Amino acid sequence: MQQLAEKPVDTGTCKLCPKFMHTFSILGKKWNGLIIEALLVKNSMRFKDLSASIDGCSDRVLCERLKELEDEKIVTRNTHEGENRIDYSLTERGQELREVMSTVHKWSDKWN
């Protein structure tokens, strides 16, 4: 994960915090919100089940997004020895997005 400057970035008329910008670069990326939501609902999912729950996302893109979310320590890849099974779940950091996702649900119910 790259180190972010502590000073806000000048975007012309307002200044945005680099940490806020980095967070939105993660959450705003296509499919990431749906991946996080699916894992909040099911706790852990195998790749094929996660893929089936997100319409329109190719397996290649899902694989890329899961890797990116792993790199950000939002998702963890769990290997179950002896069962020859791999699944994905949210880390503590990822679980803390529950309130954020709940607020997004409320907003979308009101405005969409």
The domain limits of the chain are 15-105
Average pLDDT, the chain: 91
Predicted local distance difference test score (pLDDT) of residue 6: 61
Write out the two tokens for 94.
Answer: 């990822």
Q: Is residue 3 very low, low, confident or very high in pLDDT (cuts 50, 70, 90)? A: low
Whole-prediction pTM value? 0.83
Architecture of the CATH domain 15-105: Orthogonal Bundle (1.10)
Q: Tell me which residue of 13, 77, 82, 69 sits closest to 45, measured CA to CA.
A: 77
Predicted pLDDT of residue 41: 96
In the structure, what pLDDT confidence band is assigned to residue 16 with cuts at 50, 70 and 90?
confident
Question: Which H helix or E strand runs over 25?
Answer: helix 18-27
pLDDT in tens, 64-105: 999 999 999 999 999 998 888 999 999 999 999 999 999 999
Per-residue confidence (pLDDT) for residue 15, from 0 to 100:
79
